[in-house]
Structure 1
Amino acid sequence: MVPLATRNFLRSVNTAVRIHRNMALAAMFSLACACVSAAQAMSVEVALTPAGDVFPALELSQSRSAASGADAAGSGLLRIRFGDLQSAVQVRLTISTPGLRAPSVIDAWVESGTILRPRLEWDSLALRDLRSIRPQVMRVSVVAKGMRPIEQKLRIRVHPLDEALYFVRDGDARIDLGWAFAAWVDPYDPVVDELIELAGLDGTSPVSPPENFSDRIGIARALWVALEKHGLRYADEGAGISQGPEIYSQRVRLLSSTWDDRVANCLDGSVLIASALERLGIGSFLVLVPGHAFVGFYTDSDKREAEFLETTFLGHQAPVGNQAQAETSQRIRRRAVAGFEAARKAGRTRYRSAAPRLDGKHRPDYALIDISMARAYGIMPLAVGRQDGNAYAPAVPDVEPLRKFPVKLSP
C-alpha cells in the first residue's frame, strides 16, 4: 500500500508524488474567494479529500517535525491553493475548528499556483470519546497586507479516532492510505503495560529481543495466555464502516476500548498483539486480506522468517456465565495454550493462501504492513490516552529497499 505523503516518505518513495497529483482531483469547496485592492487580486481555493470528510487519525499518525510555518506540512488531504496574484505576497493562513489543540497558523510568501498543506494539530484526548461522525464548521482565513481578509466557512464531517480511512476513489484517482493502520499499533500505550505485566514479562528494561525461535514463540504464547486471563474474546462483527464507492474505511478500536470492553474483531486483536510484541523488541506486521486481518511476527533477527496468529481464536472454547467465573487459572492456561497453537496453525494456513497476492499488485484488498517500515515512512502511533502525546517517537531507520514479500514461514 502507498503510505501517506509524509516528509520522510517523499524523499524515499516517489509513488507519494502520485498522491499529491491525485489531490488535484479533490472536490473544491467554495471556489474563487477573492479579495481585491487597487494593486492586487487574490483567489483562494480550499480542497479537502475526501470531499467534506475529515479523519483526525490520519493527521495524528503523521510524524512530528521541528519544522514550523509553511514547512510544517500536513498529510496533504487538506490543501489551500492561491491564484490570480501578479506578484508574491506575504499571507497569514489560519485554520480553526473544534477539536484542535490550537488553530493552525502559517505565515508564508505565496504567488499564483502556491499550494499550502497545513498540519492540523488535533487533540486526541478531546476526540477519544467521539463515537460517531460529528458535523461541524471549519474556518479558513487569509490575511495579507493591503488586502481585505478572506474568510471561509466549510461544513465538514469529523470522523472518530477508531475509524481508519484506508482507500479513497475520486474519479480516476486512487489514493491508498493503508499504511496508516500501523498508527493503531502503540507499544507505549498504558494498556500494553498492563498486558505485559499480566503475561509476567519485563517491559521496563531496554529492549533486547531474544535471538532464537523458541524464545520468541514463548513470548507470543505468554501474551496470548495473558489475553485469555483478561477475558478478551473475538467478536465476529463486521469491521467495515464505509465500503465505497468513494470512501473505504474500517473500524479499529483504540487499545483502551479493546482492553476495557474485553472484545476484539480481527484487526483489534492484531494491533493489540503487535503493540506488545513491538514493545518487547519483536518486529511485527499486519496482514490484510478481503474482509479480514491477522498478525505476524518475525522469529529471526534477520526478519526473513515469521509466524502468524489468527486472532479469531481469542476466547476460543471459553466458558460463559457461572462456568467462566469458576474456571481456574490452570484451566485457563491449558485452554489458552491450546488456542494459541490452533491460532498459529490457522495463521500459517491463512498466510499460505494469501501470500501469492501480497506482491503489491492486489492493493488495497491484500497488504502486508510491516510496522518498522511504516515508522520509517513516518507513520507514528496515535498516542491516544497519553498526556505526553508526542513522547513516543521511535527511532526512525533509513528506509530500506522494499524487501520482496512474502516472508518465509518459520520451519
Structure 2
Amino acid sequence: MRPLATAPHWRPSRLLAVAGALALASAAGVAHAFDWQVEVTPAGELFPALQLSQSPRPRAGGFGDGDGLVSVSLRGSDLPRHLRLRIDTPGLRRPVVLEADVEAGAHRVDLHPRLEWDMAWLRTLDATREQPLRLSLEADGVTRTHRVDVRVHALFDAPYYVREGRDRVDLGWAFAGYVDPRDPVVDEILADARRADAGFDRGSDLHRVAAIWAALERRGVAYDAGDPALSRGPVVWSQRVRLPAAVWRDRRANCIDSSVLIAAVLERLGMRALIVLVPGHAFVGYRDRDRAEYFETTLLGARHGRAAADPAANFAAARAAGGARWRRVAARLDGRHGPDYALIDIGTARAYGIIPLGAGERASRHPSEATPAPAGSSRQRGLP
C-alpha cells in the first residue's frame, strides 16, 4: 500500500512573498549584499491545524524543522556566515528563533522555522483573524525587519486541498490530526460504554463499535445537517471540524465531526480506524484481518416517526448504509479524484508522523512522551 500524497513539500508559485535587497556590513566592514524572500503558504494563510498535525522533522537542503508553510530564502553571491531569524505573531507560545551557520561560498540558504502555537489561545479563536507576522533577520551584527500581513485560521478550520496554478496539494491526511485517542471525551465515551456493557472488552470489534454508538446516543449526540464547508476554492478547500469537547457539550455532530470522534475511540482501542471522504460528506469505518465495516453517521441519534432514537436499530441501519455507500464509491478512492474522494487510514497517518492536534501540547507538559515519527501521508491505495 503506497502513499498517494506526502506531507506538504510545498512547490508553490509565490503565494505570498516579501523580498528585499539588503546590504549588511560586517564588523570587518565587508558588505554582504543579498535578497531575502518570505513565503507563507497556502496563499498567505496560516492554518494552525495543518501545522499542529505534523511532527517536527529536519528538512533536507535547509535549516530548521518547520513544515515549509513559512519559509525564508536568501540568495546572493556573498551570503553572511551566520544568520539569526526571529519571527513573532499573536498566538504563538513564544517567538521563533532560528540560527544558521552558512557554508563559505554558499549562494542560497533556506530557513524553515517551526511556529509553536499556543493551544489555549487557539481555542479562543472563533474566526479567521488578520494579523502581522513580524520577522527580523540578523546577519553580522546588523538587523533588518519585515512585516507580513497574514490570515490566521481557527483551530477548527481544516484545509484538505490546495490548488495554485498547476500545483495540487492533497491535504486530506490533516483530518487525522483531529482524531485524538487521548482526548478526555474519549475517556468518557469508553467509561459509559463499559458501564452499560459488562462484556465490552471481551466482545468483537463490531460489538464494541455498537457499544460506542450506543454511548453516543445515550449522551444525546445527534447528526447535525449543517454545511461544514468554509472554503471551496479556487485556491484552498477547507471545512469546519468540531473538536470533541464541542461535540460532547453541544450534543450535535455533522458527518466529519462524528467520523473523527468515533475514529478516535477506535484508535484508542487499537483498531484500524478509517475515514472516507466523498463529495460533501464523510463516513467512518474500521478494518480487521478479515473484513472492513463502514458506518453512515448521519443516522446517529435518528428518530423513527415520533419514537425516541433506538440505538440498536440506528446502528444496524448505519452499518447497512455505510457498507452500501462504500460499495458505490470504492472505485474512486484511488488517489486521482481529489479533493472529493479519499480514504484516510489513521494508522498509516500515524506511521508517517501525522499526530493529534493535542499531542504537542501534552508533550510540552510531559516531555518524556516519545517523539512522533517523521511526517508523511495517510492516503492509501487498495484498501477494500
TM tier, smaller: 0.7 to 0.9
Match of 2:234 among 237, 241, 245: 245
The residue type equivalent to 2:382 in the other structure is F
Q: How high is the TM-score relative to the length of structure 2?
A: 0.88
Q: CA deviation at 1:75?
A: 1.5
The residue type equivalent to 2:350 in the other structure is R
The residue type equivalent to 1:338 in the other structure is A
Q: Aligned runs of 1:139-288 on 2, under 5 Å?
A: 139-146=134-141, 148-200=142-194, 215-288=204-277
> Paired residue for 2:346?
371
| Identical aligned residues as a percent | 43
Distance (Å, rounded) in 1 between the aligned partners of 2:269 and 2:231:
34
Distance (Å, rounded) in 1 between the aligned partners of 2:221 and 2:361:
23
Task: Select between 42-51 and 267-276 the one with higher mean Cα deviation.
Answer: 42-51
The residue type equivalent to 1:3 in the other structure is T
In 1, are the aligned partners of 2:180 and 2:356 still within 8 Å (CA)? yes
In 2, are the aligned partners of 1:182 and 1:374 still within 8 Å (CA)? yes
The residue type equivalent to 2:320 in the other structure is K
The aligned length equals 367
Distance (Å, rounded) in 1 between the aligned partners of 2:22 and 2:311:
65
Q: CA deviation at 1:114?
A: 1.5
Q: Aligned runs of 1:11-26 on 2, under 5 Å?
A: 19-20=9-10, 22-23=11-12, 25-26=13-14
Q: CA deviation at 1:384?
A: 7.8
Distance (Å, rounded) in 2 between the aligned partners of 1:318 and 1:350:
21
The residue type equivalent to 1:92 in the other structure is R
Distance (Å, rounded) in 2 between the aligned partners of 1:89 and 1:365:
47
In 2, are the aligned partners of 1:100 and 1:123 still within 8 Å (CA)? yes
Change in CA separation of 1:354 and 1:244 when aligned onto 2, cut-off 3 Å: same
> Paired residue for 1:406?
383
In 2, are the aligned partners of 1:26 and 1:170 still within 8 Å (CA)? no
Q: CA deviation at 1:237?
A: 1.0
Distance (Å, rounded) in 1 between the aligned partners of 2:209 and 2:364:
27
Distance (Å, rounded) in 1 between the aligned partners of 2:71 and 2:230:
26
Q: CA deviation at 1:389?
A: 5.5
Q: CA deviation at 1:284?
A: 0.3
Q: CA deviation at 1:33?
A: 4.5
In 1, are the aligned partners of 2:173 and 2:379 still within 8 Å (CA)? no
Structure 2, unpaired ranges of 5+: none
Structure 1, unpaired ranges of 5+: 6-18, 203-208
Structure 1, residues 367-395: CA drift from partner, whole Å, max 9, x if none?
10000111111110001896555757587
Distance (Å, rounded) in 2 between the aligned partners of 1:400 and 1:248:
18
Query: What SS is found at the alignment partner of 1:149?
Result: strand
In 2, are the aligned partners of 1:35 and 1:149 still within 8 Å (CA)? no
Distance (Å, rounded) in 2 between the aligned partners of 1:137 and 1:159:
13
Distance (Å, rounded) in 1 between the aligned partners of 2:267 and 2:319:
18
Distance (Å, rounded) in 2 between the aligned partners of 1:251 and 1:378:
23
In 2, are the aligned partners of 1:228 and 1:336 still within 8 Å (CA)? yes
> Paired residue for 2:86?
94
Q: How high is the TM-score relative to the length of structure 1?
A: 0.82
Match of 1:77 among 66, 69, 74: 69
Change in CA separation of 1:103 and 1:394 when aligned onto 2, cut-off 3 Å: closer
Change in CA separation of 1:381 and 1:150 when aligned onto 2, cut-off 3 Å: same
Q: CA deviation at 1:404?
A: 4.0
Q: Aligned runs of 1:309-348 on 2, under 5 Å?
A: 309-317=295-303, 335-348=310-323
